Chains A and B, each alone.
Chain A
């Protein structure tokens, strides 16, 4: 009988984008004891990120990959973190996430979200993708839901609250969506990938 901790320990999760969603998903998975994270973001930590992303004032200017790797290893020195500081596209996604059991889509732009979901489902055979649409604004905690669309696609969000229409991203509401994502990933690792 494989224990839950052992199932999480042998899990490999890709995280595409290290903003409000991705950095929070990474922290939750690291605390839960997921063994290996493949984290990808082209950007640097900016002061404006600190309102909702898992970075600190003394990390402003560092790459998000470097800053998040430091923070994750301070939480759990056993976590293996593979970082890529680059933009992802349909060509690089299958290569970078080749080992992943699950991929968390944590991008900001709608078109990039679409790109990664389509790429994982059409050009990769194995990983499940957990994606998010609709997390902007404040309040309305219970409209954010997790829905299994198909065998390899899980969708989180309220489906409508974009940053374009809601104007604001809050640590609390983005955090709810991110923890829905992390929770779905943990469930999949325990009940499906390493069952």
Chain B
């Protein structure tokens, strides 16, 4: 089974891992407007979420921002 490590936890994708960050966020039902994404420690700019190809075994950090400061 293909996996990605998402926020430190291994997640299995029975139908194969999503092709891009946009697809991953859709599957996880996460709103892209308030997320910072890193792949293997490298920032992915929001404008490139639809181009950033994912490969099995990568480590993804998704930081979801909620308001307040």
Mark interface residues in B31-65 (1 if CB within 8 Å of A CB, else 0): 00111101001010110000000000000010111
B64 — which chain A residues lie within 8 A by C-beta?
133, 159
Q: What distance in Å separates the Cβ of B64 from its nearest Cβ neighbour in chain A?
A: 7
Tally of chain B residues near chain A (CB < 8 A): 17
A132 — which chain B residues lie within 8 A by C-beta?
68-69
Tally of chain A residues near chain B (CB < 8 A): 38
Is there contact, CB below 8 Å, between A136 and B68? Answer: yes
B28 — which chain A residues lie within 8 A by C-beta?
none
Residue A155 at the chain B interface, CB threshold 8 Å = yes
- In whole angstroms, how far apart are the Cα atoms of A118 and B63 in the complex? 11
A59 — which chain B residues lie within 8 A by C-beta?
none
Q: What distance in Å separates the Cβ of B52 from its nearest Cβ neighbour in chain A?
A: 12
Task: Select one of A20, A106, A110 contacting B67, CB under 8 A.
Answer: A110
A149-B61, A150-B38, A150-B61 as given contacts; A118 in contact with B45, CB under 8 Å:
yes
Residue A153 at the chain B interface, CB threshold 8 Å = yes
Q: Is the interface of B mostly helix, strand, loop or mixed?
A: mixed
Q: What distance in Å separates the Cβ of B32 from its nearest Cβ neighbour in chain A?
A: 10
A19 — which chain B residues lie within 8 A by C-beta?
69
The interface centre, meaning the residue of B34, B63, B64 with most chain A CB atoms within 10 A of its CB, is B63
Is there contact, CB below 8 Å, between A150 and B36? Answer: no
Q: Which of A32-40, A162-170, A185-193 sits within the interface?
A: A162-170
Chain B residues at the A interface, C-beta cutoff of 8 Å = 33-36, 38, 41, 43, 45-46, 61, 63-69
Q: Other CB < 8 Å A-B pairs besides A149-B63, A150-B41, A166-B68, 18 of them?
A: A17-B69, A20-B69, A106-B69, A108-B69, A110-B34, A110-B65, A118-B36, A121-B38, A132-B68, A132-B69, A133-B64, A133-B65, A135-B69, A159-B66, A163-B67, A163-B68, A169-B68, A174-B68
Chain A residues at the B interface, C-beta cutoff of 8 Å = 17, 19-22, 106-111, 113-114, 117-118, 121-122, 131-136, 149-151, 153, 155, 159-166, 169, 174
